[in-house]
């Protein structure tokens, strides 16, 4: 089972790298600008969460935060990517899935944010209209390494 999960994670990571290379080959001048583009302005306060990795470890720093409703969480790929933020549908408050689906741009699938491949690439999720409670999330490529986060909205 563990090897299957690791194999799946490696396959997703390889596909993400391949897709990024294809994008760069098609638009070499546009790609660096897009990677450096600033995220849309957040409506409320912003809490930054760094995404790190060394090859044998991976983490959200900090891995537990408390925010007010309407706040934005900014995930930043610092090292060891690709990284993303995903949520388990059964580990978020009732009614939160619809709010997150609208707040998470470029989802891979429901409640699974895009892969951050470039250093300093950012991904914002605004919790405007989000129900209070605990949101348990993870990084899909590094779930086997225990890369998880708990976001409390209150």
142 counts as catalytic: yes
Which pLDDT tens digit goes with each residue over 5-39?
Answer: 444 444 444 444 444 434 444 433 444 433 333 44
Distance CA 74, CA 125 (A): 7
| Active-site residue identified among 1, 15, 104, 142 | 142
* 122 pLDDT above the threshold of 80: yes
The answer to whether 15 is a known catalytic residue is no
Catalytic residue among 1, 15, 104, 147: 147
Q: Is 147 a catalytic residue?
A: yes
pLDDT exceeds 50 at position 2 = no
Structural domain for 121, as ranges: 2-153
- Retrieve residue 5's tokens: 């999960």
Report angle CA 9, 60, 142 to the nearest 5 degrees: 10
Measured in degrees and rounded to the nearest 5, phi and psi for residue 66 equal: -125, 130
pTM of the entire predicted model: 0.74
Question: Is 139 marked active-site?
Answer: yes
CATH classification at residue 63: 2.60.40.420
| H helical segments located in the chain | 2-26, 30-36, 96-103
Q: How many domains does the chain have?
A: 1
């Amino acid at each position: 089972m563990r090897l299957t999960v690791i194999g799946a994670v490696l396959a997703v990571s390889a596909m993400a790298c391949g897709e990024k290379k294809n994008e760069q080959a098609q638009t070499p001048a546009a790609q660096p600008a897009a990677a450096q583009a600033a995220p849309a302005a957040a409506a409320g306060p912003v809490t930054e969460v760094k995404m790190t990795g060394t090859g044998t470890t991976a983490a959200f720093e900090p891995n537990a935060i408390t925010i007010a409703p309407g706040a934005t969480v900014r995930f930043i790929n610092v090292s060891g990517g690709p990284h993303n933020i995903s949520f388990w549908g059964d580990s978020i408050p009732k009614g939160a899935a619809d709010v997150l689906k609208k707040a998470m741009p470029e989802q891979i699938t429901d409640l699974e944010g895009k892969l951050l491949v470039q250093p300093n690439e950012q991904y914002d999720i605004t919790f405007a209209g989000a129900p209070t409670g605990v949101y348990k999330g993870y990084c899909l490529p590094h779930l086997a390494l225990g890369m998880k986060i708990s976001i409390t909205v209150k």
